[in-house]
Structure 1
Amino acid sequence: MSEIRHIVFDIGKVLIHYDPDLPFSRLIPDEAERRWFFENICTHDWNIEQDRGRSWEDAEAELIALHPTHEENIRNFRRHWHEMVPHAYEDSVAVFEGLIESGHDVTMLTNWAKDTFVEARERFQFLNRPRGVTVSGDVGLIKPQRAIYDLHASSFGLDPRVTLFIDDSRNNVQGAIDAGWQAVLFTGAETLRGDLNARGIEA
């Protein structure tokens, strides 16, 4: 195992909580109806296209044309987005900031829509502390596509062989490995500390 010179964090569900059910449990109280809405209207595949760079205006217009009777809740997805990201994970952020403060090279690589990431940076100031970030919505690429890992490495001068990527998605972790990076699956702050310590990084 090579030494680690660069550490790259995912953000959603690693540093910041994300859960669309938080507003929609109020907007669509019936659980079965809510599940149907997420499985058939505002689906994961629909939402990921905003992470790839599609505007919310275009995303909403597309769905409303197909499902006009659901217009209000389609618009509610963006309207109530701020409720979906209610807080940061303090223990994970402590690891993240500790690495920065001890002099490690820390950057971020995230699947996130352009405008909502701007909001997130305003709300969660620790997102402004690393050396930089690649936001999928800004570059038109998403994890686990090989191209976004290569772009991040070239943008920040990272040697993939000595880069450690941290993500809560197995597919994204595998994408990093396929791009020649080292990577670990995030399951919690204490496990992350152990993963870092095992690689000679005090956390």
Structure 2
Amino acid sequence: MTPARPPRALLWDVGNVIVRWDPRTLYAKIFKEPVHLDRFLSHVGTMDWHAATDRGVTFADNIAALSAEHPHHAEHIAAWWARWPEMFSGPLAETESVIEALAARDVPQFALTNMSSESWPGVQAMSPVFRHFRDAVVSAEERVIKPEPRIYEIVLERTGLEAADLLFVDDSAANIAAASAMGFHTHHFTDPAALRPAIEKHGLL
């Protein structure tokens, strides 16, 4: 669906758009052999398992359940939360620059993230640009995750805007497709250098 008018506000994903997040950054320190690292992340500490925390399950409960299934990996599973900050490798300077430039022009900015409410405060502390967001829809607080349509509806309810008013930036093709189907402007974030030209193309910078 192509929106009938240009956007007037930004809706930002967070992980790997504003801050870099990858479990491998941590687990490469724990598993010295790549084959063991790959096996753990593909069969134990999977993204499907982690998604429960994005839906509101606590890290403690999610870790306990998985540890009961894989007791020999209990220590490794516990590190998912105990060493959570080590999964991050800093903010993306290109995104920070664009957010600051939009703020200087008083363009409304919001966040939509699949994230645990437990980890959200720490993530916000990783970059000063989070202060520019007028609101943030955090999946764990809503008990629904992208790309499910309901979470985009919550964004519209919370912002008071229509889908065509918002340019949504996300690194997930599935999330982008869902938003596009609902009438949002979208930019699939795959190259940090392409972000500013995309924002400029939409007339926001």
Is the TM-score greater than 0.5?
Answer: yes
Does 2:54 correspond to 1:90?
no
Gaps of 5+ in 1: none
1:165 equivalent in structure 2: 168
- Structure 1: distance between partners of 2:85 and 2:143: 23
8 Å contact from structure 2 (residues 90, 126) kept in 1: no
Structure 1 residue runs of 4+, over 3 Å off?
none
Matched residues, number: 202
Report sequence identity in percent. Answer: 27
Match of 2:109 in 1: 106
The equivalent of 1:36 in structure 2 is 39
> Is residue 2:24 matched to residue 1:21?
yes
CA distance in 1, matches of 2:128, 2:193: 23
User: Following TM superposition, by how much is the alpha carbon of 1:184 offset from its aligned partner in structure 2, in angstroms?
Assistant: 1.2
Equivalent of 1:132, from 127, 130, 135?
A: 135
Q: Distance in 2 between matches of 1:70 and 1:19?
A: 19
TM value normalised by structure 1: 0.95
Asked if structure 1 preserves the Cα contact closer than 8 Å seen for 2:164 and 2:184, the reply is yes
How far off its partner does 1:68 sit?
Answer: 0.7
Q: Which has the higher contact order (CA 8 A, sep 6+)?
A: 2
Deviations 1:29-70 (A, max 9, x none): 111011000111110100111111111111011111111111
Which of residues 5, 8, 11 is equivalent to 1:5? 8
How far 1:123 sits from its partner (Å)?
A: 3.1
Tell me how large the CA RMSD over aligned residues is. Answer: 1.2
The Cα shift of 1:165 comes to 0.4
**Does 2:63 correspond to 1:60?**
yes
